[in-house]
């Protein structure tokens, strides 16, 4: 068996090798936050503060297009300026590689790296046939080029070996657990990347936990102070209503980038308090 298809220890986006088994697991059964009402209030407050993040509008539209017309999320209040003019749906493989390139870098740099990749190698077949060094050079502006190039090469090699073509659209016909299992088999694809692909590209009700979401969840008491990211993922996916997951996740991510009081990098033991009145999330804190 080729080594490229074996699951390795190195992960780009998390310390654990395996993604959580199921969003029905509950690591903190006695922690009853957030409530559905809290989630809705925070979503509304952040939407009023930031508006809906324009970089996520196309994904939101594709989600709504695939839903039953009378589902709770499809009937959600319309967002202002919700049409960004980009009506082409992103392929699952494109989405996965974009997320891989976004690891440990800025959004701007990851966008530049993907644009450079597609400019040098117009098709995934071109990337598959290219020398690894050439791929590294194409994505170098996104940082960690050797690691990310290795991950991309592994994904493409495994797909070619298993499926005979470079395409992940078959995932759409699988169950959620099967989707997670398939994606987790790729070296360098960890729990957060899997959850992002599910939410953005496979239109599933999942709630990725990146650094911003994790820090905010701890700061406002939605998880215990001792929570780690994987258990936070399991807890929030259990507690947050499905119809709020996408909007709330995008808004928390955006707020985390903009509000230093919520993420408080370098001082993770601090908690947001009601004295931090400039942040709308301060009113959601239960102070001990």
Active site residues: 192
Q: How many residues does the chain have?
A: 288
Q: 3-class SS at 219? A: helix
Task: Please give the structure tokens belonging to residue 261.
Answer: 């009081």
Burial zone of 2 (CB within 10 Å; 0-12 exposed, 13-18 middle, 19+ buried) = exposed
Q: How far apart are CA 277 and CA 70, in angstroms?
A: 38
Start-end of H helices in 51-190 = 57-66, 92-101, 107-120, 124-129, 132-139, 145-163, 176-184
Q: CA dist 15 to 11, 67, 287, Å?
A: 7, 34, 31
């Amino acid at each position: 068996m080729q080594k490229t298809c074996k699951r390795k220890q190195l992960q780009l986006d998390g310390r654990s090798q395996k993604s959580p088994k199921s969003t029905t697991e509950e690591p903190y059964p006695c922690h009853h936050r957030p409530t559905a009402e809290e989630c809705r209030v925070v979503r509304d407050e952040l939407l009023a503060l930031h508006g809906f993040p324009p970089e996520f509008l196309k994904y939101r539209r594709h989600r709504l297009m695939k839903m039953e017309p009378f589902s709770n999320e499809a009937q959600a209040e319309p967002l202002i300026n919700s049409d960004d003019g980009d009506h082409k749906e992103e392929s699952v493989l494109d989405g996965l590689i974009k997320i891989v390139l976004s690891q440990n870098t800025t959004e701007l740099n990851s966008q530049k790296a993907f644009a450079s990749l597609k400019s040098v190698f117009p098709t995934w077949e071109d990337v598959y046939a290219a020398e690894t060094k050439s791929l590294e050079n194409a994505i170098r502006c996104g940082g960690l080029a050797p690691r990310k190039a290795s991950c991309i090469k592994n994904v493409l090699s495994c797909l070619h070996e298993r499926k005979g073509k470079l395409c992940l659209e078959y995932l759409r016909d699988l169950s959620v657990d099967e989707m997670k299992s398939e994606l987790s088999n790729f070296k360098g694809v960890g729990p957060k990347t899997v959850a992002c692909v599910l939410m953005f590209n496979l239109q599933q009700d999942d709630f990725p936990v990146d650094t911003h979401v994790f820090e905010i969840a701890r700061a406002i008491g939605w998880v215990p102070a001792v929570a780690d990211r994987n258990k936070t993922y399991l807890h929030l996916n259990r507690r947050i209503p499905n119809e709020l997951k996408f909007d709330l996740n995008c808004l928390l991510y955006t707020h985390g980038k903009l509000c230093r009081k919520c993420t408080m990098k370098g001082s993770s033991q601090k908690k947001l308090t009601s004295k931090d009145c400039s942040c709308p999330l301060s009113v959601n804190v239960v102070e001990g």
